[in-house]
Structure 1
Amino acid sequence: MNPILHSQSIKQWAQELGFSYCGIAEAKELTDHAHALERWLNKGMHGSMHYMENHFDLRIDPRKIVPGARSVITLLMNYFPQQVQQTDGPKISKYAYGEDYHEVIRPKLRILLEKIRENIGEVEGRGFVDSAPVLERAWAEESGLGWIGKNGNLITKQQGSFFFISTLITDLPLAYDNPYTKDFCGSCTRCIDACPTQAIHLNKVIDGSKCISYYTIELKDEIIPASMQGKFDDWMFGCDTCQDVCPWNRFSQPHQQAAFSPVGIIQDFNSLEWEQLTEEAFKKVFKLSPLKRSKWRGIMRNLKFIQSESDK
């Protein structure tokens, strides 16, 4: 067993699979992050996302997810597009331009685990893509990939923050990267100042119950609260404002994943064309898209809400 060579091999395989960065940390309890998560939940900042309250012990200790876990492998995949939306229609978060990232990344994690087993030996492990009680950004920081910015996103010094984060937890002992201990946000408050709903607080605290992404994706109510009227800035699905204004994202480079290429409708449709989109057409066009999470009914609700903002 050679942890250093194994780690080097895993990082090489990750790169071959299309991941932009790979970092490795020792599996352990994330005590500091546990306290922060507990305070966040107690303040109700998760809104109606009650699943965030579940499996607290698993969220803070990967060894309870994969018994005998020794290593947490964190992988970043770039999704910054070649071209952002040009239409004057409703805005959609860049991560949702193409296919659902869960379906794109999950098979790659399976392949990576198989490569480890074929080349290193019998290894127990599980891969996760925003689909389990795993603190992905915390593990990315522990793995030396970047720091958690004031907007709550992981920021890399090389390419900013437009990345999907996934994790592979294994019982394989590896060579561990040094945690990222520096914070290069400095005195900048652009994300705080630009947030349309004032969801970003000091000390990297994000009030999820005020975030536009929460209202347009997570909230399943038929009506968006009137208190949010006039604050959505034409965002119909998700929101990139805090990332768009981040100085570090001037280093973002276009992704090379064909699956993340924009669906034509997203680039071309104006508000009227969206309004005329039937449920049947929506299901056909967006069957592989993250937009299906909100369903046609949710998209129409969001569209109606931002249209009512512009009418005033």
Structure 2
Amino acid sequence: MSPIDRSRTVRRLAVALGFDLVGIAPAVSPPGYDHFLDWLAEGFAAGMGYLHRHAEARRHPEHVLPGVRSVVMVGLSYKPAEADPPESPRSGKVARYARGRDYHQVLWKRLGTLADRVGDAFPGSHCRAVADSAPLLERDFARLAGLGWIGKNTMLIHKQIGSYTVLGALLTDLDLEPDLPFGADHCGTCTRCLDACPTDAFAGPYRLDAGRCISYATIEHRGDLPDDLADSLHGWLFGCDICQEVCPWNRKAPPGRDPELAADPARAAPDLIDLLEADDEAIARLIRGSAMTRAKRSGMLRNAAALLAERGLSEALPALADRLEDEDPVVRAACARAMARIGNGKRAQSLGDEEGKAKQ
């Protein structure tokens, strides 16, 4: 069978499993590898030390699967069909990809099935499924596979389904006919994603400073949040979608059609005070099986306290006070800080009221 025929078979098998995007890239050193090294050298990875430790492994997919010859890239859209719930002072926003089932689990299972079927079709071949689980520059290979371009907000953008996508890869030692790489950049002169970021997390087009990113602060940052991060979450409890919300390519993109990634209404805008008052089992039920497990119990409660402090919500004081006895020192510190912030805000308002009365 020729590489072209093998590619057709693999693509047919992937499409049958419900992937929205399927493309094939050659197993080469990713074109953006030097840019990635420069990004690391500038300190833009913040506290994500694992990116430095595994930097060399990202030089070539051979480090992920010895003998690899082709990289089959797949994608799923997770754009919700329903409108976002109305915001309230007590609620926290959750990034859209984390509202449904954990996409890692969805991709791993489906890619595992694809690997089995490819193995049945081509006995003796070897495959490895990857979805954020190995040192691979997935967006680079998605572009090489013709699935879209990397936008100024560093997200992969597809002309039809936008950027609300999750990516996975199947590495194989099969010699497949690759797709043409996506060569165009359809961002043009648009800078809406850069301009909309409330924390100025972009050092420039295609250059994200993770240390200033709300998604990093609420998910990847471990331990206490520095004051500048804690006071700049802008309503986000987990992740952030602002740079995608303003992207013109997402306006007309259809909703995702995969039922496994459909949003759970309970995860779209959790009540922050209820979260602080919840027992461990209730917290586990909220985050279990979703991408929110990445922040763990500690991060979710820490972030909730920071949001309540940012809003100066005095009705949260009893719930915050109860958490001063929490077993987790990060949670205790976040709640103590929140109570101080809210208390100082009330004191400042009281002084302002008194000064106003004195002038009358």
Contact 2:58 2:137 (8 Å CA) reproduced:
yes
How far residue 29 of structure 1 moved from its aligned partner, in angstroms, is: 1.4
How far residue 153 of structure 1 moved from its aligned partner, in angstroms, is: 0.2
Moved more, 119-128 or 240-249: 119-128
How far residue 268 of structure 1 moved from its aligned partner, in angstroms, is: 6.0
Contact 1:87 1:269 (8 Å CA) reproduced:
no
More RCO (CA 8 Å, sep 6+): 1
Does residue 37 (structure 1) correspond to residue 36 (structure 2)? The answer is: yes
How far residue 241 of structure 1 moved from its aligned partner, in angstroms, is: 0.3
Taking the aligned partners of 2:53 and 2:136, their CA distance within structure 1 comes to 12
Aligned length: 310
What per-residue deviation string (whole Å, max 9, x for no partner) do you get for residues 112-154 of structure 1?
Answer: 1111111122211111001110000000011111000000000
Shift of the 298–130 alpha-carbon distance from structure 1 to 2, 3 Å rule, reads same
What per-residue deviation string (whole Å, max 9, x for no partner) do you get for residues 14-65 of structure 1?
Answer: 12111101111111112x4221111111111111100001232321201222
Taking the aligned partners of 1:55 and 1:293, their CA distance within structure 2 comes to 19
Amino acid at match of 2:25: A
Residue from 157, 177, 180 that aligns with 1:178: 180
Name the structure 1 match of 2:328.
none
How far residue 265 of structure 1 moved from its aligned partner, in angstroms, is: 1.9
Does residue 92 (structure 1) correspond to residue 91 (structure 2)? The answer is: no
Taking the aligned partners of 2:196 and 2:269, their CA distance within structure 1 comes to 26
> Is the partner of 2:205 in helix, strand or coil?
coil
Contact 2:210 2:216 (8 Å CA) reproduced:
yes
Name the structure 2 match of 1:48.
47
Taking the aligned partners of 2:200 and 2:252, their CA distance within structure 1 comes to 26
Unaligned runs of 5+ in 2: 313-344, 346-360
Trace 1:153-168 onto structure 2 (pairs within 5 A): 153-168=155-170
Taking the aligned partners of 1:2 and 1:115, their CA distance within structure 2 comes to 18
Amino acid at match of 1:288: G
Shift of the 268–309 alpha-carbon distance from structure 1 to 2, 3 Å rule, reads closer
Name the structure 2 match of 1:198.
200
Contact 2:217 2:229 (8 Å CA) reproduced:
no
Contact 1:24 1:72 (8 Å CA) reproduced:
yes
Amino acid at match of 2:85: Q
Name the structure 1 match of 2:242.
241
- Root mean square deviation, CA, Å: 1.5
Taking the aligned partners of 2:39 and 2:109, their CA distance within structure 1 comes to 32
Contact 1:125 1:171 (8 Å CA) reproduced:
yes
Shift of the 305–285 alpha-carbon distance from structure 1 to 2, 3 Å rule, reads closer
Taking the aligned partners of 1:77 and 1:124, their CA distance within structure 2 comes to 24
Contact 1:243 1:249 (8 Å CA) reproduced:
yes
Trace 1:277-296 onto structure 2 (pairs within 5 A): 277-296=278-297
Shift of the 177–87 alpha-carbon distance from structure 1 to 2, 3 Å rule, reads same
Contact 1:33 1:60 (8 Å CA) reproduced:
no
Taking the aligned partners of 2:269 and 2:207, their CA distance within structure 1 comes to 35
Contact 2:94 2:268 (8 Å CA) reproduced:
no
Name the structure 2 match of 1:133.
135
Unaligned runs of 5+ in 1: none
Name the structure 2 match of 1:27.
27
TM-score, structure 2 as length reference: 0.83
> Is the partner of 2:302 in helix, strand or coil?
helix
How far residue 281 of structure 1 moved from its aligned partner, in angstroms, is: 0.7
Name the structure 2 match of 1:273.
274
Amino acid at match of 1:286: I
Shift of the 81–287 alpha-carbon distance from structure 1 to 2, 3 Å rule, reads same
Amino acid at match of 2:142: A
Contact 1:73 1:168 (8 Å CA) reproduced:
yes
What per-residue deviation string (whole Å, max 9, x for no partner) do you get for residues 223-260 of structure 1?
Answer: 21112354221001000000000000013222222222
Taking the aligned partners of 1:251 and 1:14, their CA distance within structure 2 comes to 25
The percent of aligned pairs where both chains have the same amino acid is: 36
How far residue 285 of structure 1 moved from its aligned partner, in angstroms, is: 3.4
What per-residue deviation string (whole Å, max 9, x for no partner) do you get for residues 252-300 of structure 1?
Answer: 2222222222233224643333332222211133221111221222111
Shift of the 232–285 alpha-carbon distance from structure 1 to 2, 3 Å rule, reads closer
Amino acid at match of 1:49: M
Name the structure 2 match of 1:297.
298
What per-residue deviation string (whole Å, max 9, x for no partner) do you get for residues 192-214 of structure 1?
Answer: 00011111232311111111111
- Superposition misfits of 4+ residues, deviation over 4 angstroms: none
Trace 1:206-245 onto structure 2 (pairs within 5 A): 206-221=208-223, 223-245=224-246
Does residue 83 (structure 1) correspond to residue 85 (structure 2)? The answer is: no
